[in-house]
Amino acid sequence: MTPRHSTESPPDSIEMEHSTGSEGTYARPSPLTRSNTMIMDEQDQQELQRIATGISQRRRQSFATVPSRIATINEEDPALDPTNKAFDLSKWLPAFMHQLQEAGVGPKSAGVAFKNLSVYGTGAALQLQKTVADIIQAPLRIGEHLKSGKKEPKRILHQFDGLLRGGETLIVLGRPGSGCSTLLKTMTGELEGLHLGEESMITYNGISQKDMMKEFKGETGYNQEVDKHFPHLTVGQTLEFAAACRLPSDPEKLGLDGTREETVKNATKIVMAICGLSHTYNTKVGNDFIRGVSGGERKRVSIAEMMLAQSPMAAWDNSTRGLDSATALKFAQAIRLASDYTGSANALAIYQASQAIYDLFDKAVVLYEGRQIYFGPASKAKAYFERMGWECPARQTAGDFLTSVTNPQERKARPGMENKVPRTAEEFELYWHNSPECKKLRDEIEVYQQDYPSDNRSEAIAPLRERKALVQDKHARPKSPYIISIATQIRLTTKRAYQRIWNDLSATATHVAIDVIMSLIIGSVYYGTGNGSASFYSKGAVLFMGILMNALAAISEINNLYSQRPIVEKHASYAFYHPAAEAISGIVADIPIKFISATVFNIILYFLAGLRREPGNFFLFFLITYISTFVMSAIFRTMAAVTKTVSQAMMLAGIMVLALVIYTGFMIRVPQMVDWFGWIRWINPIYYAFEILVANEFHGREFDCSQFIPSYPGLSGDSFICSAVGSVAGQRTVSGDAFIETNYRYSYSHVWRNFGILIAFLIGFMLIYFTATELNSKTASKAEVLVFQRGQVPAHLQDGVDRSVTNEQLAVPEKTNEGQDSTAGLEPQTDIFTWKDVVYDIEIKGEPRRLLDHVTGWVKPGT
């Protein structure tokens, strides 16, 4: 990814918006000179220098023949020449990022401002614990269910004001349930299940949130506390996919050297080096069940993905949960680097921030029960609350102090201020609104709105449209938030699907092995059946089992789709691809896998069970079972797409499978079906497939009669008849067509009609699946609620079962020093816990690895 040669010299650092805080305007230091944000090790820096050398060599080769479009690195400066001993990475990397930005392909810088921001949700604040008795008594509580169905709006955030400029970082502090997640979701436009107040205003450099979400959805990114990646993909594959979805479709048009594939690889390696991930390129991302990179590295993969998504506004919701202090610090350092290098605005909600983490942030916001009680420079927050009258204990970090102020049991007023400090959330909010810090914040917002006026929509949105038009695929819709066309999206997601399959071959091999085992079991049951009339029901049974095993095996795709839905939802919010594109690629990627499974299963079953050994009949059997697999796959995928939870989908699938099996025509034959349920067969695709298989097996064949009535020797004339259904008096054979017509009411003339119906089922459910996936890809936000046992709800909260209650009603009283010691009744412990020569070995890729090597120690009671 190389800007071509020019004689202009770049700045020594990235050009960014200056931040205005309480100390006035200041410029941020160069990222690589920050001692507390240096997360790149020697390997990462060597990788960056290698990339810089390659860029320099390609630029010299193309310098004389290709006109330059943008200013590029001036290699006359020894510090910017990778081949010179004086090469300085801290100067080259910012210069390179700056020139990409000038080309219109680099990171974008944007800020967000909100004023009078109020957010509402729906749902009761209290819930009753469900029991078995509730299920039994549900019909007697219809009125209660109808009453609870009318959800009143619940105010989550109360009149927030804030400003986060490009290149700044914001730390969001508050206790769980105070609205931190809601604030981050609102800032990034993730409003599923939420709605804004009428007077709320939120803009991104003058662009309204509605326009931002419609045309520039990928410009804002929200990352939940649990990292969502495909575990079987390597880190390199994960990040190269992100780069391919958001980088320019035609690098040559922008004056960049190399093909698009080379541009993608270079961008990925540069970002990986910045985030300290160069050594994990070929390592699987992994998850809780699949071995991969460490938890901290997985967090940095999310940051790198966000950087490649080029989102100028990003929010991180408690992403340090589960990390040790050192890893959490590296995660925060990576966010700091992302803001410094790309000019993006990053907001991070964190519940336990060390002082080193807190010092990385430019601004802080403190929430108390959904109310804003501070927003301003992080360095001034502690002094603000101390001036309010609260005491910060010695050696307590600033982050913990700010959070403890909102906890009645932890905060402590300074001597003499006990009756002067605010106590409730409303009092804190009132103090904030009357403070000079709040006035200054509002003045900054006014200045920001003057710089980026929102009343002129076309003028505010024009720069982003021009930038997007420069990098967008020519086949993409101009007002689409996606950079690449739908065809390219399908190609990339299909490639990724095959990578996932290749990286998890054991799962495919296991599936094929199970098919082999099942075909051997079922086929052996009907082995040696023969071709007499006594084999009629055996042949029908093996055909029934064959179609069921092929068709119903697709039910496992419901769980697979729900496991990847959060990842697809995240990528759609980054504007990587349409969810429907991932759905299409999933079907395409399944074609060879399902073909291998169908080939193994059907060949073994067909010949082991002694079915009709003629080429035409075998291939028709194979075709119908193979198509039936895709038809049922489309149906089960549709169920997963139209529901919100996996339990809903599995419940519907269970009911449907029962109906499909019963009304296929084998367990209950058509002549025996009752009218009020018999119609189910007309909407049952397995019914049509089973009729084809039965007709294919019995059509045009005469079967020897296995038993006559009456059964005595010397039968002649019309005085006897075969015991099989469809037989004719006086004939020693039974017509296969007569048997299926009489027994099943099937006809060979329906074969290709039924095949057309199966294709119609397939196309219809595929279209519904793609549409539902596109429209139902988001999950609604859910708030935390209190759960009580029925009959045990406190009297003052009784109404909260049916309506929203305020957080103040649920507040815990402040801790006092009076009262008895709660530990007085505990029995003293005297046992000493010891361990000696503890050794713990595990096996990794067939080789032993020792985690604990003769560890010895002891713990004294009370320590």
Q: What is the predicted pLDDT for the residue at 855? A: 92
Query: What single-letter amino acid sits at 709?
Result: I
Show the tokens assigned to 158.
């109360």
Instruction: Quote the pLDDT of residue 798.
Output: 58
Q: Is the pLDDT of residue 161 over 70?
A: yes
Write down the residue that tokens 């938030």 correspond to: 481
Kindly report the average pLDDT of the chain as a whole number. 81
Q: What is the pLDDT of residue 54?
A: 66
What does the DSSP assignment read for 200-245? -EEEETTEEHHHHHHH-GGGEEEE-SS----TTSBHHHHHHHHHHH
Q: How far apart are CA 795 and CA 307, in angstroms?
A: 51
pLDDT at 260 over 50: yes
> What number of residues does the chain have?
863
In three-state secondary structure terms, 383 is helix
Looking at this protein, which amino acid is placed at residue 795?
A
Structure tokens given for 187: 């800032």
Using CA atoms, how far apart are residues 83 and 53, in angstroms rounded to an integer? 7
Q: What is the pLDDT of residues 204-249, one digit of tens each?
A: 888 888 888 888 888 888 888 788 899 999 999 999 999 999 887 7
Q: How far apart are CA 669 and CA 676, in angstroms?
A: 15
Q: Is the pLDDT of residue 678 over 50?
A: yes
Q: What is the pLDDT of residue 597?
A: 93
pLDDT at 304: 87
Q: For residue 55, give both structure tokens.
A: 């860029």
pLDDT at 693: 94
Q: Residue 256 burial by CB count (10 A; 0-12/13-18/19+): exposed, middle or buried?
A: buried
Assess whether pLDDT exceeds 60 at residue 799: no
In this predicted structure, the answer to whether residue 773 has a pLDDT above a threshold of 90 is: yes
Among residues of the chain, what percentage have pLDDT more than 90? 37
Q: What single-letter DSSP state applies at residue 11?
A: P
Would you state the pLDDT for residue 503?
Answer: 92
Joined tokens for residue 496: 């990724």
* 637 membership: H or E segment, kind and range: helix 615-642
Structure tokens at 667: 């367990």
Nearest of 482, 568, 507 to residue 230 by alpha carbon? 568
Query: What band does 767 get if pLDDT is binned at 50, 70 and 90?
Result: very high
Tens of pLDDT, residue by residue over 343-380, are 889 999 988 888 999 999 999 999 999 999 999 999 99
Q: What is the pLDDT of residue 784?
A: 56
Residue 285 structure tokens: 């991302």
Q: Name which of 163, 166, 213, 39 is nearest 574 in CA terms.
A: 213
Q: How far apart are CA 519 and CA 506, in angstroms?
A: 20
Q: Which residue has the higher pLDDT, 745 or 327?
A: 745
Residues 736 and 539: beta-carbon distance below 8 Å: no
Helix H or strand E encompassing 477: none
pLDDT of residue 212: 87
Q: Averaged over 36-53, what is the pLDDT?
A: 64
- 103 touches 10 (CB < 8 A): no
Which residue matches tokens 């204990």?
A: 393
Give 458-485 pLDDT, tens digit per residue: 777 877 787 777 778 888 888 888 988 9
What is the SS3 assignment for 183? helix
Q: Is the pLDDT of residue 774 over 70?
A: yes
The reply to whether the predicted model has a pTM over 0.75 is: yes
Would you say residue 122 has pLDDT above 80?
Answer: no
23 three-class SS:
coil
| Dist CA 338 CA 314 (whole Å) | 10
pLDDT band at 384 (very low <50, low <70, confident <90, very high): very high
pLDDT, residue 529, reads 81
Q: Give the residue with greater pLDDT, 90 vs 305.
A: 305
pLDDT confidence bin for 446, thresholds 50/70/90:
very high
What are 497-512's pLDDT values in tens digits?
999 999 999 999 999 9
Angle at 538 between CA 537 and CA 539, to 5 degrees: 90
pLDDT exceeds cutoff 70 at 665: yes
Under DSSP, is residue 116 helix (H, G, I), strand (E, B) or coil? strand
Q: Where are the domains of the chain?
A: 2-103, 486-775
Tokens of 409: 């049991």
Q: List, in sequence order, every beta strand (DSSP E) within 249-377.
A: 256-257, 313-317, 345-349, 363-368, 371-377
In this predicted model, what pLDDT tens digit does every residue of 17-40 receive, in sequence order? 444 443 444 344 455 445 444 556
Contacts of 669 (CB under 8 A, 6+ apart): 743, 744, 745
Query: Could you please report the per-residue DSSP string of 737-784?
Result: HHHHHHHT---GGGHHHHHHHHHHHHHHHHHHHHHHHHHS--------
- Tell me the mean pLDDT in the region 158-184: 91
Task: Identify which has the larger pLDDT, 82 or 49.
Answer: 49
pLDDT, position 786: 65
pLDDT score of 153: 74
CB atoms within 10 A of CB 820: 7
| Calpha distance 303→314 (Å, rounded) | 10
Average pLDDT estimate for 584-608: 94
Per DSSP, the three-state class of 3 is strand
Q: What is the mean pLDDT of residues 310-331?
A: 83
What local confidence, expressed as pLDDT, does residue 531 receive?
Answer: 83
Q: What is the largest CA-CA distance in the chain?
A: 121
CA–CA distances in Å: residue 132 to residues 136, 153, 646, 650, 801: 7, 30, 21, 20, 20
State which amino acid sits at residue 519: S
- DSSP for 507-524, written as a single string: HHHHHHHHHHHHHHHHHH
